Structure 1
Amino acid sequence: MSSKAAPSPLVGGAYLLAGNLLLPLRLVLGWTYFSAFWRRLVLENKLDPDGAGYLGEKFNHFLPNALGIRPAIEFFVSHPELLWWKLLGFTVVEAVVGLAVMLGFMTRWMGLATALLAFGILLGAGWLGTTCLDEWQIGVLGVSAGLALVGTGGGRFSLDFWMEKRGMKIPGSRLADRLVAWALEKRGVVVVAAAVFLLTLATNQIFHGGVWGKLHNLSVKPRVELSEAHLDGGALGVTLYRVEGADVYGSFAIALRVLDATGVEVAAWDQQALAGLAPTAIENRYVAKVKPGAHSLMLPLGAKAEVRFESDGLKRLRAGSYRVELEDISGASWATTLEVP
């Protein structure tokens, strides 16, 4: 009796043809994930916390408008030492999954893995994209492409096929094949297709208003939230949180003013004063950091910090409500209320 394993019920016929037809998709999809590892650790070191372009800062950019996973993102960007391990593990997973998809090894399971990776990208970064809704497109296309590979397998031009022909055991292949066969019998493909399409429409609407109503793109113009304004020992403390705008370009604050109820300026800091803030005056909460620049106070996307501003004028404030206003170099401004008891 031959010791070779029985061939998979989904290795020939229409399934083989479908897998052959999706070869270009499999190679491109695999490379998009493997190339993440290639860019971060081979071409450059993007996992150096002290280096330019640290991946942790990019991950921090997702935070303000992530869908459903914001608490998890905030936890990691608040704990830099854990974030590094998370990014390393994620990069290794992307490398393994991407390479396996290109080779066509455990194709159905790796297709599911790519769909899950893309789903995570969609939830975290689907709101980003200055021109073509870049991250949303990457996410929804990755989910649908990965699930397509779950259904078709790798086809003739895959390591799975090569191993099947030689009677070699592919880990998890029998279970994957049975699940796919069962889903096809129960018209599960229609359910999956409908679910993916609804996910596409829902996230397009939530992130960009792309189905009905007014279109919006949170990556175009910077927006900074001011909160928790208070006086402490004659200094103004206020929390600054950059929540919108391009992830590759900072917000550059050139003025901060405190105005009384009649609009009269009672304290102010110009761009030189903001650029000259001492590091001890800024208490950053995340990996992306608010910091003084050459000519302004720089606020990268996702950065949140409590900043202290000192002025003799603050010591003479009477009880009442005041307006704290931050001005960006673009001319945009944002404000919060300061209550002086």
Structure 2
Amino acid sequence: MSTLTLDGTPAESKSATQRSQADAQRIAALAFLSIRFIQGFIYWGGGSRRFIYGPAKLDPSAASWMANKFQSAMPGALLGTDHIIAFLLHHFYLLYVSLILFSAAELITGLFLMAGLLTRAAALVSIGLSVVLMLMFGWQGATCIDEWTMAACNLAIGATLMLGGSSAFSLDNALLVRRPAFAERGWFRWISGALPLPIRSDAFQKLALAVFAATVVFNVATYNYYRGSVFTPFHGGPVSPSKHHLSLADAVLLSNGALRFHAYLDGGTPAAPSNVMAAMLKSNDGKVLEQWDGTALSHLPTSAIANEFAYNRFAPGPFGLRAEMGAMATITLPGTSNANPGSLQSAATLQLHTVNGNTFNVDVGME
């Protein structure tokens, strides 16, 4: 019985040069075995945690529902992906289907890579997943850019497997042994990993260099954007993954003396909420016109806080006003006789003071 080489033909019919090339391909395939399996295991782990081991992540009623993680990523997401996240958060059924499909893509891609089935197609999907993860979550990580680091490595691994395939100990290779005619099918060589790509060596070199350039440019550019240290000095990133930041806008003193403003927790860690301990309305000369302490903020009625998303929210907390990462709301503070439009003879400012000592300001207008 003859032994088949990588392209499905009998070994004895090959010249010495061809056998040498086949041996080189076999060596490369064996070298890829570790990264192919671990790349698959990483993605399989992401999907299996949601479908098998931690199904609460796909349960909208659970605290670990994945929508909360999506919203926490929104402030630092790149290239318009923050708008995509916001759109999905506003449309529950699209959000739920998207999370199911994304998780299923991770699970299936991981299984295919570990088994070596349709290796190049699975590697290409893993590249897409890595890019999405880097754009949405790459900025997060309080001590280092954790999400970016893993996704950047997975992107490079996916590019390597897409180009090189992986015939050793793979179902692609087993399928080729059973169906040697597949060696002549272009579609099989493009989506599986059992054989080299069906292109000339000079064309393969151009493709490999183009993939290399795209991988390097994307990884280095996003790293420089998030942390610098390439073309600019090291910096903490446009969006801090460790220090909470509140963006305030549209502050208006209403005719009844109440103060309405828009707040967005657009920086910091999702591991802990931000707590606003006090709010002050000050005139331009520094006079305090109104003040809401932690007790007043913690007793705000539900009707005073209009959250834009149903997941991470602003809400009264035990020490004041509590906000989870990515929360966005229009908040109305009750007025007293000390604060009314007639008392504003000059410009005024609303100040919010958080538990960690930070102060956030916004100019106040009149209705």
TM-score by length of 2: 0.85
Q: Which of 109, 124, 127 is equivalent to 2:136? A: 124
Q: Which of 204, 214, 218 is equivalent to 1:199? A: 218
3-state SS of the aligned residue for 1:239?
Answer: strand
CA contact (8 A) 1:17 1:155 kept: no
Q: Which of 51, 55, 63 is equivalent to 1:52? A: 63
Instruction: Please name the residue that 1:262 is paired with.
Output: 285
Instruction: Please name the residue that 1:40 is paired with.
Output: 50
Q: Which of 182, 194, 197 is equivalent to 2:199? A: 182
Matches within 5 A, 1:9-24: 12-24=22-34
Matches of 1:161 and 1:7, distance apart in 2: 9
Matched, 1:173 2:188: yes
CA deviations on 1:186-211 (whole Å, 9 max, x unpaired) are: 22212211221111111011111231
CA contact (8 A) 2:42 2:110 kept: yes
Q: Which of 217, 221, 224 is equivalent to 2:246? A: 224
3-state SS of the aligned residue for 2:78?
Answer: coil
Q: Give the C-alpha shift of residue 261 in structure 1.
A: 0.4
CA 1:229–1:158: 2 relative to 1, 3 Å: same
CA contact (8 A) 2:254 2:366 kept: no
Q: Give the C-alpha shift of residue 294 in structure 1.
A: 2.0
Matched, 1:308 2:332: yes
CA contact (8 A) 1:220 1:246 kept: yes
Matches of 1:183 and 1:309, distance apart in 2: 70
Instruction: Please name the residue that 1:3 is paired with.
Output: none
Instruction: Please name the residue that 2:3 is paired with.
Output: none
CA 1:321–1:137: 2 relative to 1, 3 Å: same
Instruction: Please name the residue that 2:276 is paired with.
Output: 253
Which moved further from structure 2: 137-146 or 284-293? 284-293
Which moved further from structure 2: 316-325 or 30-39? 316-325
Instruction: Please name the residue that 2:36 is paired with.
Output: 26
3-state SS of the aligned residue for 2:352?
Answer: strand
3-state SS of the aligned residue for 2:199?
Answer: helix
CA contact (8 A) 2:189 2:197 kept: no
Q: Give the C-alpha shift of residue 248 in structure 1.
A: 1.6
CA deviations on 1:231-289 (whole Å, 9 max, x unpaired) are: 33422111110111112221111111111001111111111222222222111112321
Q: Give the C-alpha shift of residue 13 in structure 1.
A: 3.6
CA contact (8 A) 1:15 1:153 kept: no
Matches of 2:100 and 2:286, distance apart in 1: 51
Counterpart of 2:333, as a letter, is F
Matches of 2:345 and 2:92, distance apart in 1: 40
Matches of 1:91 and 1:36, distance apart in 2: 7
Counterpart of 2:243, as a letter, is K
Matched, 1:149 2:161: yes
Matched, 1:133 2:152: no
5+ unaligned residues in a row in structure 2: which ranges? 1-5, 10-17
Counterpart of 1:298, as a letter, is R
Is the radius of gyration larger for structure 1 or structure 2? 2
Structure with larger RCO (C-alpha < 8 A, sep 6+): 1
Q: Give the C-alpha shift of residue 314 in structure 1.
A: 2.7
Q: CA RMSD in A?
A: 2.5
5+ unaligned residues in a row in structure 1: which ranges? 1-5
CA 1:154–1:310: 2 relative to 1, 3 Å: same
Which moved further from structure 2: 290-299 or 123-132? 290-299
3-state SS of the aligned residue for 1:131?
Answer: coil
Instruction: Please name the residue that 2:363 is paired with.
Output: 337
Matched, 1:328 2:343: no
Instruction: Please name the residue that 2:72 is paired with.
Output: 61
Number of residue pairs the alignment of both structures matches = 337
Matches of 1:245 and 1:14, distance apart in 2: 50
Q: Give the C-alpha shift of residue 185 in structure 1.
A: 2.4
Instruction: Please name the residue that 1:158 is paired with.
Output: 170
3-state SS of the aligned residue for 1:163?
Answer: helix
CA contact (8 A) 2:8 2:177 kept: no
CA deviations on 1:287-324 (whole Å, 9 max, x unpaired) are: 32111222221211111111111021333532532111
Counterpart of 2:35, as a letter, is L
3-state SS of the aligned residue for 2:243?
Answer: coil
Matches of 1:12 and 1:239, distance apart in 2: 65
3-state SS of the aligned residue for 2:179?
Answer: coil
